[in-house]
Structure 1
Amino acid sequence: MASLLAARHADERQRFPFLQERFEDIEQAEDRLREELEKPYTGGLVTLRDEDVIGYLLYEYRQDVTRGRTVYVGYPSFVIHEDEHPRLARLMYTEAGAEWVRNGYFEHVMDIPVGNDELILEMLEQSFHFEQRFAALSLEHYRAQPGENSLVKMKELVGDEQRILHKMAPWNSLHQAKAPAWKPITQEALDAERDVFAAYEGKEGTRSWVAEQDEVPVAFHLFTPADARHAMTTPDESAVLVQATTNIEMRGQGIGKSIANHSFTQMKNAGYKYVMTDWLTANHLASYFWPKLGFRSYMIRMARTVDARISWADGQ
């Protein structure tokens, strides 16, 4: 299994050199797989030809706040040998998915490398859809974007000042509820967003900025040092842009470019080399804005909701 993962990672690094080189080593890849297997409620299957592993699928049962009972397949957890027909991925999903559905888990989520076109296509044909993109920005190559808004001023939030972010927490949800994302604003989702901000208050290394116009906050960026648990897809000396948004009534005025130019420059000056972030693929503004700034997508989250009626409408 580790040999397959190391080989796939080497291929991915041809396209995305910022990924961690050390996971091309089989022992490092094995350690990463063991981390996955040590998680609670984890299962998996391996496909063999004679004595050789030609594919594996690891999965974790989760209770998600918004999805409910969910099976999650992580970035290192679904690999088939490069010489095998990609349909093997379908066969493995069929085998494992039967167990998931039998146990009442109808939400299936997978994080798949962007470079793995064949696996992505197989999952699309199994009724998965694109849901979220994960991307990296090289601060070394970042160039300030033209079209800034000269009316806004930047302010870094310090200490208790970060609590102002709680008031701006719904801005993203309000935008996502509009066309074409149409993502419902549930109380659970709002509570989860506020919990995110609370978790980062006072956390070492966390930094945030607001853009103000006439002393009124109109946009914000929240950064934190990248978590080592995601080391396989996270370069050294990188930060995560946890949340970033502009007041929905003031978009299209260059405010987003202004705060991006300022905060990215500050993070670069602080010694960071990369900024990592993600966005929902149905969010058409984010899908255009972040790549335009230079973010490169290296991983895509795919999801499928199985019709729960299959638990009783199965022809038996």
Structure 2
Amino acid sequence: MIQFVGLDEQYYPAMATLLSKRHQVERIRYSFLPKRFEEAAETENLLREIAKNPFVNGIVALRDQQVIGYMLYEFKEDAKKGRHIIIDYPCLAISEDAHPRLIRLLYAEAGAEWIAGGYFQHIIYVPIGYDRLVYEWLEQGFRFEQKYAMLDIKNYEPKAKHTDTSAINIRRLAENDTEMLKSMSRWNSIHQASAPSWNPITKESLQDVKSGYAALAKDAEAIVMIGEQEGIPVGFHVYYEADTSSNMYTPNQTVDLPAASTNPQYRGRGVGKALADASHAQLKEMGYDYALADWHTPNHLASYFWPKLGYQPFMIRMVRTVDNRIAWAHGK
């Protein structure tokens, strides 16, 4: 019989072993994942650090007093999402000989507390390399929302054709490019609002985006590549050095790609590939080995473009929003 108990000091070593074994399975498919997390000592330190957060709680599954699974989850609240639960990438693992259905049991056990507290949106970061977790969440009513992928910059092969991109001038951002950045800020937002993403963009949020892009010109940590053709801005990529100490999937010498877009009037002409080629050459010269990108899964252009460049998806953000009528609608 399976028993569910709360987090306790005595369970951390066994939880860490489950997570390190999960990571070993993932690294068979994705060798870029940091090797150090195959060691239980590393995963135990990570789990303990996560559990220090005052808004993190968790449950442990036992069979014959042996740990066969665990789930850590964080209670969050903000103006955009309201009350929601996040189960981060390291926060769920089950024994290799446990039935995948254990995922459902952990979710049901912990979820009762969430619903009682009015937390109807549930978000989980799922490793693709551990397939059986993905299917269990799908069957629990979760959907794909965001994919995360890694590119090996060291072995990147240029994708653009010279005949298509010879007229494009690609350079690093300059401090006097503020107005150009403002003009480019709308491209991605407007695209995300169109079919089939249908991600609404308000006037207020668009203004925030415009201000954020303008600030890039004076951001010393941003690596911004701009593409121009006959004086017209045709595309951009934005990179930042990634924090490799904060998670278990980012290798050393990695950059994050939080924003990239092509002028809608120039799409289909090789601009994106030309920018990618120039950006990756620049990043390689700067000593970076990997680039991390993510995209909204309903965004059909991004879902096609980044994998075609060589970005390899390894993690999915999945979301379920429970009908909040469950708080009062009980058939009475």
**TM-score over 0.5 for the alignment?**
yes
Q: Residues 66-77 of structure 1 correspond to what in structure 2 (within 5 A)?
A: 66-77=80-91
Is 1:173 the counterpart of 2:189? The answer is: yes
Distance (Å, rounded) in 2 between the aligned partners of 1:187 and 1:81:
48
Tell me if the contact between 1:166 and 1:194 (Cα under 8 Å) persists in the aligned partners.
Answer: yes
Counterpart AA for 1:86: P
Is 1:10 the counterpart of 2:24? The answer is: yes
Find the counterpart in structure 2 of residue 224 from structure 1: 240
Per the normalisation by structure 2, the TM-score is 0.89
Q: Residues 12-27 of structure 1 correspond to what in structure 2 (within 5 A)?
A: 12-27=26-41
Moved more, 183-192 or 273-282: 183-192
Distance (Å, rounded) in 2 between the aligned partners of 1:167 and 1:133:
27
Counterpart AA for 2:188: N
Q: Residues 57-68 of structure 1 correspond to what in structure 2 (within 5 A)?
A: 57-68=71-82
Find the counterpart in structure 2 of residue 243 from structure 1: 259
Match 2:289 to one of 273, 285, 291: 273
Moved more, 181-190 or 208-217: 181-190
- CA shift, 1:194, in A, is 5.0
Match 2:314 to one of 282, 292, 298: 298
Match 1:149 to one of 161, 165, 169: 165
Counterpart AA for 2:317: R
Note the residue ranges of structure 1 that are not aligned, 5 or more in a row.
none
- CA shift, 1:188, in A, is 6.1
Question: How large is the RMSD of aligned CA atoms in angstroms?
Answer: 1.9
Distance (Å, rounded) in 1 between the aligned partners of 2:215 and 2:55:
25
Is 1:253 the counterpart of 2:279? The answer is: no
The CA deviation string for residues 212-244 of structure 1, in whole angstroms up to 9 with x for no partner, is: 122121211000001134441101111111111
Tell me if the contact between 1:162 and 1:208 (Cα under 8 Å) persists in the aligned partners.
Answer: no
Distance (Å, rounded) in 2 between the aligned partners of 1:163 and 1:65:
30
Note the residue ranges of structure 2 that are not aligned, 5 or more in a row.
1-14
Distance (Å, rounded) in 2 between the aligned partners of 1:283 and 1:247:
16
Distance (Å, rounded) in 2 between the aligned partners of 1:199 and 1:234:
26
Is 1:208 the counterpart of 2:242? The answer is: no
Q: Residues 89-238 of structure 1 correspond to what in structure 2 (within 5 A)?
A: 89-147=103-161, 148-159=164-175, 161=177, 164-187=180-203, 189-190=205-206, 193=209, 197=213, 202-238=218-254
Equivalenced residues, count = 316
Tell me if the contact between 1:66 and 1:188 (Cα under 8 Å) persists in the aligned partners.
Answer: no
Find the counterpart in structure 1 of residue 100 from structure 2: 86
Label 1:312 to 1:249 Cα distance change in 2 as closer, same or farther (>3 A).
farther
Label 1:200 to 1:214 Cα distance change in 2 as closer, same or farther (>3 A).
closer
Is 1:55 the counterpart of 2:78? The answer is: no
Distance (Å, rounded) in 1 between the aligned partners of 2:247 and 2:302:
25
Per the normalisation by structure 1, the TM-score is 0.94
Moved more, 138-147 or 108-117: 138-147
- CA shift, 1:150, in A, is 2.3
